[in-house]
Amino acid sequence: MVIRDNDWLTIALPKGKLFGLSRSLFEAVGIEAEGLEEDSRKLVITNEEKKVKFIIAKTADVPTYVEYGAADIGVIGKDVLEESGQDVYELLDLGFGRCHLMMAVPAADRRENLHDYAHTRVATKFPHLAEKFFTGCGMQMEYIKMNGSIELGPIVGLSESIVDIVETGTTLRENNLVEIAHIMDASARLIANRGSFRLKFDRIHGLAEAMKAELAKRQK
């Protein structure tokens, strides 16, 4: 039997907190590959029998792999997906990895109103989402793109505020920061390349339905 590209399903999984949860869900619906580990040295991990390829990617790269067809489907946080602006299908809210995007400031420098921060600097990994939020509030801000510990921004005087993802709020409290504005909720999403979704509809749709059923079972 000749194996064509269309026989294979390529899946991009993000490194970090979503990896293990994503792998567990795929395994639960019968999609797995030997050696599928976050710290694997292999760039592509395959299961010849089930015609599945896994790409383990940096979180921010997953939407790019999917939009351009290097991966047929992928798992990514809604926050990263919205920030990227990549043109993909969002198939399913997977429910895990729940967090929210918010604005926080030093507790000692908290101002009375949100608009009192207009024309100040905000440190963030999400400049596009931050700008969309502040523009919607009628505020002009200066955005400083950071990739590391965003909480450092106000501490070292780089910015007056931050826009970042929060799960429990522990890191904010440890750094004497307080949340003052909720921007958006986020959780892991299953996404698909538009072309792949048409060409491999039966397989991708079937997989999404199996995941939906598995998630519903877990909630019982």
pLDDT digits (tens, 9 = 90+) for 68-82: 999 999 999 999 999
The whole-angstrom separation of Cα 47 and Cα 54 is: 9
Average pLDDT over residues 199-208: 96
Do 109 and 159 belong together in one domain?
A: yes
Average pLDDT over residues 3-27: 89
Residues 105 and 177 in one domain: yes
Same-domain check for residues 82 and 162: no
What pTM was estimated for this model as a whole?
A: 0.90
DSSP at 173: H
User: Which residues are paired to 73 by β-bridges?
Assistant: 11, 192
pLDDT of residue 220: 79
pLDDT attached to residue 85: 95
Mean pLDDT over each residue of the chain, to the nearest integer: 94
Distance CA 60, CA 62 (A): 6
Beta strands in 58-118 (DSSP E): 73-77, 89-93, 99-106
Whether residues 181 and 193 fall in one domain: no
**24 and 72 inside one domain:** yes
Question: How many domains is the chain partitioned into structurally?
Answer: 2
Q: Are residues 14 and 87 in the same domain?
A: yes
Query: Do 14 and 31 fall into the same domain?
Result: yes
Q: What is the percent of the chain with per-residue pLDDT over 90, rounded to a whole number? A: 91
pLDDT of 4 above 80: no
∠ Cα 106 107 112 (to 5°): 100
Long-range contacts of 54-57 (CB under 8 A, 24+ apart): 54/10, 54/11, 54/12, 54/13, 55/10, 55/11, 55/12, 55/13, 56/13, 56/15, 56/19, 57/12, 57/13, 57/14, 57/15
Helix (H, G, I), strand (E, B), or coil: what is residue 67?
A: helix
| pLDDT score, position 130 | 98
Are 112 and 212 in a shared domain? no
Contact 200, 6 (CB under 8 A): yes
Per-residue pLDDT for 12 more than 90?
yes
Same domain for 44 and 152, yes or no, is no
Q: Which of the four pLDDT bands, split at 50, 70 and 90, describes residue 3?
A: very low
Whether residues 87 and 65 share a domain: the answer is yes
* pLDDT above 70: residue 1: no
Residues 137 and 171 in one domain: yes
* Domain of residue 78, residue span: 5-97+187-219
Q: Which amino acid is located at 172 in the chain?
A: L
pLDDT, tens digit (0-9, with 9 covering 90-100), for 104-141: 999 999 999 999 999 999 999 999 999 999 999 999 99
Pair 16, 80 in one domain: yes
Helix or strand or coil: residue 24? helix
Kindly report the CATH number assigned to the domain that includes residue 200.
Answer: 3.40.190.10
Q: Kindly indicate the confidence band of residue 41, based on its pLDDT and cuts at 50, 70 and 90.
A: confident
